[in-house]
Structure 1
Amino acid sequence: MRARRLQSSLIDRILFDDDAETLTVFFKRSGKYIYDGVPRAIYDAFGKAASAGQFFNDKVRGHFECRPDPVRRRYPME
């Protein structure tokens, strides 16, 4: 497993599982979501992107099957 904290107003950190090829994105307000079938190169580029939110929208959202983490928090913290 690899983890990286990001400098983003939207995303807190990302976690990548090499064996399962899953990318977990920890959003600051809506909890965490797991993306399946993500290549390692996407994780590497995500961590180096100038804008994590823009990278997520361009390269992750809508490109991989997504599921909410079953233990994600239901309401954003104030």
Structure 2
Amino acid sequence: MRVHRFPASSTIEELCYDPGNQTLCIAFRETGRYVYDAVPEPVVEAFCRAPSAGGFFNAQIRDRYRFRRDPARKYFGPSR
């Protein structure tokens, strides 16, 4: 499982990614945690390198992949 934090982002706190099943989990600072399915690894790699995490999310992930909330924090565990 790959974890990447975005300390400079006002929108996204961190992501975790499981390349085995292409599951991307994103922790948003204001709206909670969401799980995105069938996200290719090159997209996640580009996300981690993007100068703006929120901008990349809006342009490359939002409305492109099926998603669900992760209220049980299955992928991230308890809030820090």
Separation in 2 of the partners of 1:4 and 1:60?
A: 16
**Percent identity among equivalent residues?**
42
Moved over 4 A (4+): none
What SS class does the counterpart of residue 20 from structure 2 fall into?
A: coil
Separation in 2 of the partners of 1:37 and 1:58?
A: 17
Alpha-carbon shift at residue 70 of structure 1 (Å): 3.5
The equivalent residue for 1:62 is 63
The equivalent residue for 2:2 is 2
The equivalent residue for 1:75 is none
The equivalent residue for 2:49 is 48
CA deviations 1:30-63 (Å, max 9, x no partner) are: 1100000000011100011011000000000000
Alpha-carbon shift at residue 66 of structure 1 (Å): 0.6
Gapped runs of 5+ residues in structure 2?
74-80
Aligned residues, how many? 72
Gapped runs of 5+ residues in structure 1?
73-78
What SS class does the counterpart of residue 42 from structure 1 fall into?
A: helix
Separation in 1 of the partners of 2:47 and 2:71?
A: 24
